Structure 1
Amino acid sequence: MNEQRLQAYNQLIQTLLSCPSGEESEILAANTELLDADFVQVVVAAAEYFAQQGEENTAEWLRNLATYLTTPKTTPITQEDIDTYGQLLLEILQATAESNGDAEVIYPLLVANTDKLNDIFAELLRRWATNILAEAEADTATSIAAVIVTFSNRIQQFPLGSKANNMEIAIAGYEIALTVYTRSAFPVDWATTQNNLGIAYGDRILGERAENIESAIEAYTEALSVLTRSAFPQNNAVTLLNLGRLYQDEKQFDLAYNTFVSAIATVEALRGDIISGEEAKRKQAEEWNQLYRCMVEVCLALARDTEAIEYIERSKTQNLVELLTKAALTTPENLPLVGSSIQFGEIQNLLDNKTAIIEWYLFYDCFRAFIITSNNKPAIWHSSQQDLDALIDWKKEYLDDYYNPEDENKIQWQNQLEERLKKLAEILHIEEILDQIPKQYERLILIPHRYLHLFPLHALPVKESYLIDLFSNGVGYAPSCQLLQKVQLRQRPNFESLFAIQNPTEDLYEKDLGAVAAIKKQFTEREILKQDQANKSAILLGINENIHNVTLHEKLLKANCAFFFCHGYFNFASPQDSGLQLADGNLTLADIITHFKLENCRLVTLSACETGVTDSTSTSDEYIGLPSGFLLAGSTNVVSSLWTVSATATALLMMKFYEELQQQSNIVLALNTAQRWLRDTTVKGFQNWLINSSLSWGCKIYLNKYFAANHENALTKPFESPFYWAAFCNIGKGV
């Protein structure tokens, strides 16, 4: 149960204890949505607490309440009940049959009759079905059983009324159906119904908890005797997940662990059988993400911390890792890769003795940060439910403001960014997490999870500085440890050749501050496609004639560094259509994945807006965005942005970034150094830098006018706000 639900339980208990005598039944009737098995457990725990405090009367009252809530009712049934309930029962079953179980048809009927969804209804369902099935022919009996099972599924999931009564009705329906669905005659229907019966007994409130759990386990075990991995792998995985979650809820963690191991083996075998494309694999990863999450929780409960991290990795970026593996092995297209995993020792081998990883993982009721170093056990920081709730609220407000159509230029969002990042640092408890990292560590790799990829975690305020100020060898990112392992294995030449796209659209012609012109001087070989020459058909030769015989521009194919100074965008509705805007069309993520091959490329720099945004709606954390496309294409590093950036600030940042790259091979450190320079330099400092820069006189004049017009005080730091310097981050190898 989550913290919010627990508070609701405790509030209801307080209300019952403080209400006038005789009003308890009315209060319980008004709060039926809270009367579930977890509530009973909280009542029992409260009774023990009051007993320890010497308040035996209160403790006994609570014990009686728990007994009352779990004791099946035996209400006498009158002829009037038979008539009234019988008519309702037939109406509901007919609606179920005619609508094929459509909840939009069935639920309004249930809502209008919640007062009759009780023990009488359950008993009359048993009587009616028993009598009619005894006289029905085989085909008719089978059809009736199918309708009853469908209705039982619906009422089991019905969110209103008394959950205790709903479970009793569902159990009655399943047990009746099993008199028709015998194992010998209908093995699959029998097994599926057993699985559903197991769910109902696991959620049952009435009766002895131990007996309910025993019945649920028995039902799941029966189901698995038919729903084997070889014969019915999908059903096998579903049933194993249900059984494992039951063991987990009952804190039988060893049994839960073994059950989830079997479930994951089935799921990964299913994944290996998918041949219909990457979209199908993404959907499968999202479908089964809860299984991996449950396994991580169980591993942590068993203090198997390194295994927890291994299972986190198995649930992240599966498609991307498999594609990278496939490319590295030159695996034939028709040979599927079954699963992907990395051992904790392999993760540690990715790190030297001065580099640490912080890997986040979002659970249902909290989030955790796993701190990994090369020679120690992982340290784990654990949030509260309130922290997760605050993070969800923060994320919603951040994104709502960023995409607010009334603030087209994002001025309000920009002005609030500094304070928002302070709040995010508090919610993530970043200082507490950093306390787990010894002071001698000089480099940090951040591995976010899901929507955390959208935020500039490297720019979180820490005491009187920012995160990037605390690590002298740089702060970079990776989508997962597995992907980091893949790119670390790639060996790329030093920076000798450059391929650049410069101002492909007319609106950028006048915004050219000479960044590309300055950067290209650092390379012995360079190919610059500028303005109307910077088009898609020049990069992908043959793209407009024959899509099957497209070849990449020769200079891009050989480039050690690819630089794009253009517009970028992320398409949330269709991430594969995200891309870079060129002179004659958009270079999309799908184009990059399909046609790019960058086996000599060490760095792709996407000096454009929103090029680092990824699909945060994916629960499987597949990391779908332009960076993943270029990593898949062969680059070992991608520098990209998390929002719509300032053209002037970005041009200065890029010039300084490449200036730093001349001095060192550490890409992450060069970027962080350039970001600190942009953040901390005064107007006077920029003016002095311009004097010695290699920019053209026209660019120098423009920038001097820019500073003079916007900042009267020479000691002002014009780009101090994180909005100007924090958008860009490096994803990948880091060097």
Structure 2
Amino acid sequence: MARRARQETGWRGEKPGLCLTCRFDAKGIANPVSEAPVRPHDRLETEQPTSIVMDEERLEAYLNLIRELLKCPNGEEGRILQENRELVDAEFLQVCATIGEQMAEEGRENEARFLQELVRVLGQGRNREGATPEDYFQFLLEVLATLDSSGDPNVVYPLLQQNLDRFDLTLAESLRAWVSQTLEYMELEQAQSIAAGLGNFGNLIKDCPLGSRAENIEHAIVAYQLALEIYTPQQFPQEWAGTQNNLGDAYRNRIRGERAENIENAIAAFQLALQVRTREAFPQDWARTQHYLAIAYCERIRGERAENIKNAIAACQLALQVRTREAFPQEWANTQICLGAAYSKRIREEPSENLEQAISLYQEVLQVYDRQVFPERWAMTQNNLAVAYSDRIRGGRAENIEKAIAAYQLVLEVYTQKQFPQEWAGTHHNLGSVYYARILGERVENLELAIGCYREALEVTTRAAFPQKHADTLFTLGLAYRDLGQLADAYSVFTQAIDTVEEIRQGIIVGGDGDKQKLAEEWQSLYRNTIEVCLEREDWTGALEYAERSKARNLVELLAATKLQPENIPEDLWHRYRDLYQQWWKLQQMEDSRSSAAPDSITETPTAKLRTLRQQLDRLIDEEITPHDPKFRYSQQITPITYRDIQGLVNPKTVLVEWYITYKGIHSFIVTHQGTHPQVLTTNPDAPERLDALQEDYLEHYLRRAEDWQTQLPHYLQELSDLLEVPTLLAAIPKSCEQLILVPYRALHLFPLHALPLGDCILSDHFPEGIRYAPSSQILQLSLQDNAPVANSRDNENHEVFFALQNPTADLEYTDLEVEAIQTVFTAPTILKQDKATKTEFDNRQPQLATTNIAHFACHGYFNFNNPRSSGLILAGSQLSDTEDPETAKEGSADLSPAIRSRRGTFDADKCLILPEIFNLRLPQCRLVVLSACETAITDISTTTDEYISILAAFFFAGSRHVLGTLWAVNDISTAVFMVRFYETLFAKPSPPVTLALKQTQDWMREVTVARLQDWARGCSLLSETGKARIVGRFAWGYTADYEPYTHPYHWAAFCVTGQ
């Protein structure tokens, strides 16, 4: 599994990625032409927005003021604006809006929001001084009257030019208010006329070269949405479909909001348009919308990439049934280019043939787009041809690269920096990439040429204007520096790229963890190469810090967003924010676990409930939190953990070992209390490949041949010990160390590292206080910052609040014995037993969980390797019969089935406790959660980003100081014995820490004989007489007295503890 993932995503560590210079419109796929719902002659070609033109000194003064505002401490903004009041004018607001757009375009959402809010507040003041709502109404009436008279943009644009100061949020609000007030008194024919005007206004404002392009698109979206309140598919099918088409185009080109979400909305709108635009009734319109849908699928971020490309190809092929070369040569060429781009991206199914197909398509297009008549289209097509040649599999590699270089050089004859700065920069990036890969010529000279090209590209693709492209170019520049041996330069640009990527990530809000996950996977090779360069430079501290920055970012951000309370936020307000945030996050996790199929309507992606929660959260931040803390939105950004912070997690008798994997080996970072830097050990270079093979074989046996897996478990552990070179690791750890904290990485999360064999003993034997785990050092650090006082188990353990689920499915015979024994430790335990352990009853007990000190779940658990977020615990009443099945889809939920299908049967997920719901629990007083169930510590290892997704992680996030979970499907009898012994040990006097109690229980299980086990059962004060008799009787026949029934690691090694 991991091996396949590495092959698919790891190529960027071998060569720079080719940035397809232009989005599809710049590659020869024309931006969709806006369609007026009534008059075809109102369709306008898309134009580029004009740039800001003003006195350079004035502009620089504006920019300096913006920089000062972004960097100033909270509360200083008013003073700074007052001191610079001569600069606060209409042009300043325009510059703020434009810079905000640039920051928002590819992800710098926090700074963008600040500037947008600044424009809104200052703009309101200007509006109060001048324009009134009536002025806005009059302006709208004037525009619509002009549209009615001519629809000519040359007539309308001068009117828009004169009213640029009204292109703000008030315009959209006035538009909505005007429509709602007007429609109430209108006849249908009049309403239709208004809808036509709104559609035309949307077309004009969307493509208007004046003012703020981002705001123009927002106004267009509002206009289309309002037109759709009048146009229904029943009364005005053609107009409704045309408006849906235009709305999809607006969403696809939208600057504000999150790119992934905008594309989903575009796809939904195009698909709705196609419900009316059939090939039979409207062939040209049908083909046009199919073409636009193909572009959207090519650009889609969510869903499976292969499926998106397949859909794009299918849509192109449909469009070409109407868009023939003879009838519509330019439209044919545009769709051919889109089809070629899709084939170029189709790398899973016959990649060689797909690239040949793309090359053939581009060459055909060049027969229509010649340089003299269509120079821009010709250059765009040459660019795509160069990309295809650089990736080409057939033919000589050296010759293909030379063809790519020649094509890019032709492109630059048309794309000059002055006329086409973005395309010029993108072409230089791509040319640098092929020089980097060039076979002919001297290697050093080719690398220097590549560096020169990348530096040229960075003149345009700045961090402020194009952060995604900026990061991509920095990454490839770093690879070139690395290969030249200029490691300091490589480190510098790699770290700049990481800062940019993390800034982009901070801007993803609505898209949630799914979109962040895709971004993180895309950039894993950047982190890996940065860490490799740090290691080559012997910068051990830097290597560990960047390894940490690459791990479990979704969980780190969730912890920070809900647990780091700013000092100036009132307690009740903070609790409201945290509750709302976690409700939103829980629902987002549900969305992420759904099918990635395209939405049926805009309102379904995400669900209306998800949108409502996000709006409520934003409103709470804007209206109630921001007055207390104006920079709250971006104060929640995560400060990367430093080596000193990591070192602060250990004491003189504790050592932390954190792993990271690169292509050069498996690296162990050893952090001690005294060290000035971590000690780094690196395995043989073949260790990562061996680990991949071990993981694949391990899971193959575990999932399909359980008996063989159990037999081979000691062999797997020995092999892992060998490839991790554990004896060498152990020798590097100070002899004074009594406890170990382990931070695994990717596949290492699957295995009981505490049980790795070392000759006649195991790793934990060398650490008297035991071994505990952490998802990452930063998650451990964040969890420590939220510690509320809990009951002292050493002094008043019998008064601790205990809550348990006991055998909800009534098929775990020894689970009842287990819980009945454990509850005797506590004075007033709360037990949900068998059929009482339902989801409804559990939900009703959540207020009680908030005061629980120890929670024990003795039930069935499952980890879903295909969809980890649907993992959970099985509760009473959830199992379905063979013939029974819940509805396969609920309203607004696409095709999410609430059924959980596991090796133990089929269960209704709505009646189980699944992972997103566990994350949403509140356990502020809980010092220990014990998951006496199967697979509760298994972690999702299918991604390259080491996101810590597990049942155990969910309970840890919910607030428990320690969580004890299992790494595989455990045995009912041995688990019951283990748990009773564990609680007996934990509540002995003096009471040991959780980690030590676990170690002592495991040691006992490894060595206990039948005779000792029976003696223990007879004397155990926790067991009832019936319980004692059952355990003694279980071993009464067929065993010798000195037989060790639980010495096999299957019975004891699965249990591990994560925590403080």
Residue in 2 aligned with 1:231?
465
TM-superposition CA deviations, 1:41-78 (whole Å, max 9, x none): xxxxxxxxxxxxxxxxxxxxxxxxxxxxxxxxxxxxxx
Pair 1:605 & 2:930 matched:
yes
User: How do 1:267-416 and structure 2 match up within 5 A?
Assistant: 267-276=501-510, 277-330=512-565, 332=577, 333-334=617-618, 335=633, 337-376=636-675, 377-404=677-704, 407=705, 410-416=706-712
Picking from 175, 181, 203, the partner of 2:415 is 181
Cα distance in 1 between the residues matched to 2:834 and 2:648: 45
User: How do 1:416-427 and structure 2 match up within 5 A?
Assistant: 416-427=712-723
Flag the 1:686–1:164 CA change in 2: closer, same or farther, 3 A. Answer: same
Pair 1:561 & 2:854 matched:
yes
Pair 1:570 & 2:888 matched:
no
CA apart distance, 1:685: 0.4
Picking from 444, 468, 472, the partner of 2:740 is 444
Cα distance in 1 between the residues matched to 2:761 and 2:999: 13
TM-superposition CA deviations, 1:456-493 (whole Å, max 9, x none): 11100012101111100111111111111122332433
Q: Is the 8 A contact 2:869 2:916 kept in 1?
A: yes
User: How do 1:524-563 and structure 2 match up within 5 A?
Assistant: 524-541=827-844, 553-563=846-856
Picking from 702, 707, 721, the partner of 2:1035 is 707
CA apart distance, 1:152: 1.7
Pair 1:657 & 2:891 matched:
no
CA apart distance, 1:623: 0.5
Letter in 1 for 2:679: A
SS in structure 1 of the partner of residue 657 of structure 2: strand
Letter in 1 for 2:550: S
Q: Is the 8 A contact 2:656 2:671 kept in 1?
A: yes
User: How do 1:18-417 and structure 2 match up within 5 A?
Assistant: 98-103=339-344, 136-137=372-373, 140-276=374-510, 277-330=512-565, 332=577, 333-334=617-618, 335=633, 337-376=636-675, 377-404=677-704, 407=705, 410-417=706-713
Cα distance in 2 between the residues matched to 1:640 and 1:607: 7
Q: Is the 8 A contact 2:369 2:377 kept in 1?
A: no
Q: Once structures 1 and 2 are overlaid, which stretch shifts more, 248-257 or 207-216?
A: 207-216
Cα distance in 2 between the residues matched to 1:466 and 1:371: 19
Cα distance in 1 between the residues matched to 2:547 and 2:688: 18
Flag the structure with more relative contact order, 1 or 2, with Cα contacts below 8 A and sequence separation at least 6: 2
Cα distance in 2 between the residues matched to 1:307 and 1:564: 41
Letter in 1 for 2:702: Y
Q: Is the 8 A contact 1:99 1:105 kept in 2?
A: no
Flag the 1:225–1:283 CA change in 2: closer, same or farther, 3 A. Answer: same
Cα distance in 2 between the residues matched to 1:363 and 1:245: 15
TM-superposition CA deviations, 1:514-569 (whole Å, max 9, x none): 2111111222332111011111111213xxxxxxxxxx523211101110000001
Flag the 1:369–1:511 CA change in 2: closer, same or farther, 3 A. Answer: same
Q: What value does the CA root-mean-square deviation take over the aligned residues?
A: 2.7
TM-superposition CA deviations, 1:27-53 (whole Å, max 9, x none): xxxxxxxxx99xxxxxxxxxxxxxxxx
Picking from 873, 881, 890, the partner of 1:580 is 873
CA apart distance, 1:412: 1.0
Pair 1:698 & 2:1020 matched:
no
SS in structure 2 of the partner of residue 582 of structure 1: coil
Residue in 2 aligned with 1:627?
952
Pair 1:682 & 2:1009 matched:
yes
Flag the 1:232–1:721 CA change in 2: closer, same or farther, 3 A. Answer: same
Q: Is the 8 A contact 1:269 1:338 kept in 2?
A: no
Letter in 2 for 1:198: G
Pair 1:502 & 2:829 matched:
no
Q: Is the 8 A contact 1:678 1:720 kept in 2?
A: yes
CA apart distance, 1:364: 2.3
Cα distance in 2 between the residues matched to 1:341 and 1:173: 43
Flag the 1:329–1:438 CA change in 2: closer, same or farther, 3 A. Answer: closer
SS in structure 2 of the partner of residue 102 of structure 1: helix
Cα distance in 1 between the residues matched to 2:459 and 2:355: 38
Flag the 1:621–1:703 CA change in 2: closer, same or farther, 3 A. Answer: same
Picking from 488, 501, 505, the partner of 2:784 is 488
CA apart distance, 1:442: 0.6
Picking from 820, 827, 838, the partner of 1:517 is 820
Cα distance in 2 between the residues matched to 1:181 and 1:474: 64
TM-superposition CA deviations, 1:369-399 (whole Å, max 9, x none): 1111110132111112222222111111111
Pair 1:590 & 2:894 matched:
no
Letter in 1 for 2:343: D
SS in structure 2 of the partner of residue 444 of structure 1: strand
TM-superposition CA deviations, 1:700-731 (whole Å, max 9, x none): 2222222124x421101000000000001001
Cα distance in 2 between the residues matched to 1:360 and 1:402: 24
Residue in 2 aligned with 1:50?
none
Cα distance in 2 between the residues matched to 1:319 and 1:600: 24
CA apart distance, 1:358: 1.2
Letter in 1 for 2:481: Y
Q: Is the 8 A contact 1:502 1:529 kept in 2?
A: yes
CA apart distance, 1:338: 2.5
Q: Once structures 1 and 2 are overlaid, which stretch shifts more, 692-701 or 330-339?
A: 330-339
SS in structure 1 of the partner of residue 674 of structure 2: coil
TM-superposition CA deviations, 1:430-463 (whole Å, max 9, x none): 1111110111111011110011101111100012
Cα distance in 1 between the residues matched to 2:556 and 2:964: 19
CA apart distance, 1:687: 0.5
Cα distance in 2 between the residues matched to 1:631 and 1:113: 48
Letter in 1 for 2:531: V
CA apart distance, 1:157: 2.0
Cα distance in 2 between the residues matched to 1:446 and 1:427: 17
CA apart distance, 1:264: 1.2
Pair 1:429 & 2:665 matched:
no
SS in structure 1 of the partner of residue 434 of structure 2: helix
Cα distance in 2 between the residues matched to 1:134 and 1:418: 68
CA apart distance, 1:161: 3.5
TM-superposition CA deviations, 1:222-276 (whole Å, max 9, x none): 1111111111111111111111111112221100111012111111111111112
CA apart distance, 1:698: 2.3
Q: Once structures 1 and 2 are overlaid, which stretch shifts more, 282-291 or 470-479?
A: 282-291
Flag the 1:281–1:197 CA change in 2: closer, same or farther, 3 A. Answer: same
CA apart distance, 1:179: 1.4
Cα distance in 2 between the residues matched to 1:689 and 1:109: 65
CA apart distance, 1:211: 2.1
Flag the 1:553–1:313 CA change in 2: closer, same or farther, 3 A. Answer: same
- The count of residues paired between Structure 1 and Structure 2 equals 617
Cα distance in 2 between the residues matched to 1:523 and 1:162: 76
SS in structure 2 of the partner of residue 562 of structure 1: strand
CA apart distance, 1:110: 6.3
